[in-house]
Amino acid sequence: MTLEKAIDLLESYDFEEGHPDLTQAAYMGAAALREELAGSKPLTPEQLREMAENVPVWIGGKGLNGWDIFVGISTAGPACFLRAALPMEGCGKTWAPYRRKPEPHPVEGGKTCEGNQRPD
């Protein structure tokens, strides 16, 4: 089941009348899943521009997979990190910032994008 499907089920489930705690728990669960889902998506260039300075981010891309500290966007245009200055026009194309380290994504054939066998 995908996170989106779980959120839809939790938000639309009709609990029996008289169970407000179950309803509240379902909505809280949906909110937590929605937050988890948002944290696993790459930040957009707009989100990066609005981000506070000195925030840790995971940078994904060829030769860039690791944590760094976002320090801002220079007037010349690149996104600046403690260990890298990356062109903003490449954000989301050749490199991507994340709020947390992304999970391996499953692909067809029972393997993840990283080539590891997917657990069943």
* Per-residue tokens: 5: 């499907």
What pLDDT is attached to residue 76? 84
pLDDT for res 104: 65
- Residues with Cβ within 8 Å of 74's Cβ and at least 6 positions away in sequence, in order, are 80, 85
* Extents of the domains making up the chain: 3-39, 43-120
Looking at residue 97, what is its pLDDT?
Answer: 93
pLDDT confidence of residue 90? 92
Q: pLDDT tens for residues 34-65?
A: 777 666 788 889 989 998 899 999 999 988 88
Q: What is the 8-class DSSP label of residue 91? A: B
* Ranges in the chain, pLDDT < 50: 106-120
